[in-house]
Chain A
C-alpha cells in the first residue's frame, strides 16, 4: 500500500497545490473510515488533474470508486451515502460540469435537512476544478463559485495555497454540512510549505495575507496571487494595499473584511467570476449596509467580463482580471 504522505515527503520540502488535494483527502481517509471517494478517473488514473494520485493504491477500490461519466449518479449517490453514515468526497471533474448535476446541488443536497425539519444530515464534499487562465475554452474554464452562492444550504470553500487546501479539506470533510470545494486549475502547479499533521482551517475564516494601510483588496482562490502581485507593484508607488484571502464564500467572514476596512477605509474586490451576480456584489452590499461609516471612497469591483470565456490567451486576458486591471482600479481608489 502506498502512502501519499510518505512518498511526497521524501526529499520534498514543498508541496504543490495539486499534491495537497490528495494529501488532504488521504489524511482524512486515514483518520475516519467513513470517508470515501467517488468520481470519474479518480482511481487508477489519479484524476485528470492528478489531484487523487495514490489514493486508490492506499485505500483500495471500495473507498476510491471510479465511476462512469454520470454526474447525476455521482452526486446523487454521494448524497444517499452521506445520509446513511458515510462521508463521501465526490469529484466533478471540471466545475462547468456541476451544471450536469445541478438538481442535486440546487434542489436536493442543500434542502433536505430543512424540508425534513432537521431529520437528515448530509455530510458530503463535492470537489471540482474551477476557473480559467489555461485556455480550455468556454465550457471548461468558468469560475462557477457564484452558482453555488445562490443556494442557501451549501458551504463554499475555495483555497488559494497548498496549506489551505489541506486545512480546508479537513474542515470540509469533517463538516456535518455539505461543502462545495473549488480547486483552482490555475493554482494546481503552485507550491507552498506543507502544513503539520492535524492542520485544520475552519470554514468561514478569512485571512489577511498582506498588511497595508491604504486599501483593502478582497480576493479568492486564483485572484489572491493576482492581488498580491498588484499590491507589490502598488507598494513601489507608495500605496500600501492590504490583501484579504476570503477562503470561503459560505460562511462569509464579513468580520475580517470590516476589521480591515477599519484600517484602510477603501475596498476593492477582485473576482474571477463575471461581474454580474459575483460574490463581490454580496460582500459590498453587506459593507454598504454595516460598514458605510468606515468608507472614505466608493467600493469598487474588478471582476470578469460578462461574456463566455474565450479560447485565445489574448482574449481570455481581456475577460479575466489581471494584475494591471487591479493596479489601475486601486490607483483610482487611492486618489479618490
Chain B
C-alpha cells in the first residue's frame, strides 16, 4: 500500500472513529435510543478488508457493524440518521444501529443474532459460483460467534464445496462481558478451528490496516481463483464496552492501557510518517474527517422523523404488509 492509498485509508478510519464518538455523544444527549455496539478500535479491520475487496463483492456483518457499513460506502449522515430514527436513515429508521445495511454497495446487512450471518455469506458465495461470476463473500463476526453452531455448519459447508467466502473474526478478547479465553477450548478461537475444516486459518494484527489489507487481499485472490474459503482471526480491542450499557470495568487497567497504545489510527499515522508524509498532511486528513462527521451530525439532527405509515410497509416484495384478503 503506497502513501497515497494509506492516507486515504487513514482518513476513512478517522471518519469511522469520529462517527462512533458522535454516536456515543448523541446517545448521552438522548438523541439515540435503543442500544449501540460501537466499533471504535476495530477500524483497521473494516477499512483494510474493504480496500482489498471489489465493489461487487458481498459483505455480511454483525450488530457491531457501523464500521463495516461506513467502510462499504454508507455515509456518516445516513448512518447517524438511522441511529437517530430519522426518515433519511440508511434503513428508513426501521433497522437501527444493529442492522445497518446498504445493499446497493454490497453491504448485505448487519445481523444481531450472533453467528447467524455466516451461513448467509456461504449462500452468497454459492450464488456467485452458480451465476459464474468471480465475486466473493465476506462474513465479519466477533470471537463470541466461534462457539455458535452456525459458525461450524457454515465453515464445513463452505469447505466441502470450496466456496469463495472469507470468514473474518474480529477477536477483541471479550465475548460480550466475558473473556473469550474463559469459555473457549482453544487459545485462538477462530484460527485454531480452521484446520478442523481443512481450510487456512491465519492470525493478523487487526489494528494494523496494512497487515489486514495484505492478508485479505491474498486470501481473497485465492478464493476468487476457486481455491476455497479461508478464516482470518484479526486481533483487536474495543475502546468502549460491549454495548452502551456496559462501562467495561471488568477489563484490567493495564490491558486497556496496552491496547489503547496500540491504536489503529496511531499505527497508521506512524506508517505514514515513515513513508515520508508530512505530519500536517495527516492532521489535515483528521480535520477533514472531523468536518465530515460534524456536518453529518447536524444534517441528521435536522432531518424529519419517519412517516408513521412506514410501519406498515416493506414486509413483502410488493411493498406492503397485508397477510390476508
Contact = CB atoms under 8 A, between A and B. Distances in A.
Interface of A: 36, 62-63, 65, 67-68, 70, 72-86, 88, 103-104, 107-108, 110, 112-121, 123, 152-153, 175-177, 204, 250-256, 286
A31 to B, nearest CB: 16
B123 to A, nearest CB: 3
B102 to A, nearest CB: 7
A108 to B, nearest CB: 6
A120 B124 contact: no
Interface string B71-111: 00000000000000000011111111001011110001101
A286 B323 CA distance: 12
Given A73-B150, A80-B126, A115 B116 contact: no
A253 B89 CA distance: 35
B123 A113 contact: no
B317 A114 contact: no
B116 A86 contact: no
Secondary structure call for the A interface: mixed
Contact of A113 (B125, B126, B315, B324): B315
B322 interface: yes
A62 to B, nearest CB: 7
Contact of A86 (B113, B130, B156): B130
Nearest to A71: B153
Nearest to A77: B123
A-B residue pairs, 10 tightest by C-beta: A76-B119, A80-B123, A117-B92, A176-B317, A77-B123, A80-B120, A73-B153, A117-B91, A70-B153, A118-B314
Given A73-B153, A73-B157, A117-B92, 9 more contacts: A36-B130, A73-B150, A84-B58, A103-B116, A110-B315, A119-B104, A177-B317, A204-B324, A286-B324
B325 A81 contact: no
> Residue among B116, B120, B125, B315 with the most chain A CB within 10 A?
B120
A97 to B, nearest CB: 13
Contacts of B28: none
18 contacts: A36-B130, A62-B130, A68-B157, A73-B150, A76-B116, A77-B122, A80-B108, A80-B126, A84-B124, A108-B117, A114-B315, A116-B109, A118-B313, A119-B104, A120-B109, A152-B323, A204-B325, A252-B323
Contact of A107 (B116, B119, B124, B125): B116
> Residue among B95, B111, B127 with the most chain A CB within 10 A?
B127
A73 B99 contact: no
> Residue among A70, A88, A104, A152 with the most chain B CB within 10 A?
A70
B321 interface: yes
B124 A116 contact: no
A68 B123 CA distance: 14
B30 interface: no
Interface string B147-190: 00110011011001100000000000000000000000000000
B137 interface: yes
Contacts of A86: 126-127, 130-131
Contact of A121 (B95, B102, B120, B317): B317
Given A70-B156, A117-B95, A80 B119 contact: yes
Contacts of B314: 113-114, 117-118
B122 A76 contact: yes
Contact of A76 (B94, B154, B319): B154
B16 to A, nearest CB: 21
B118 interface: yes
A117 B90 contact: yes
B250 interface: no
Contacts of B149: 72
A80 B122 contact: yes
Given A70-B156, A81-B127, A252-B323, A120 B120 contact: no
Interface in B299-325: 313-319, 321-325
A5 to B, nearest CB: 23
Contacts of A121: 317
A68 B156 CA distance: 9
A123 B316 CA distance: 10
Contacts of A79: 119-120, 123
Contact of B95 (A76, A115, A123): A115
B91 A82 contact: no
Given A117-B94, A119-B101, A121-B317, A76 B120 contact: yes
Contact of B101 (A70, A78, A120, A123): A120
A108 B60 CA distance: 13
A65 to B, nearest CB: 8
Contact of B122 (A73, A82, A251): A73
Contacts of B118: 76
Contacts of B319: 118
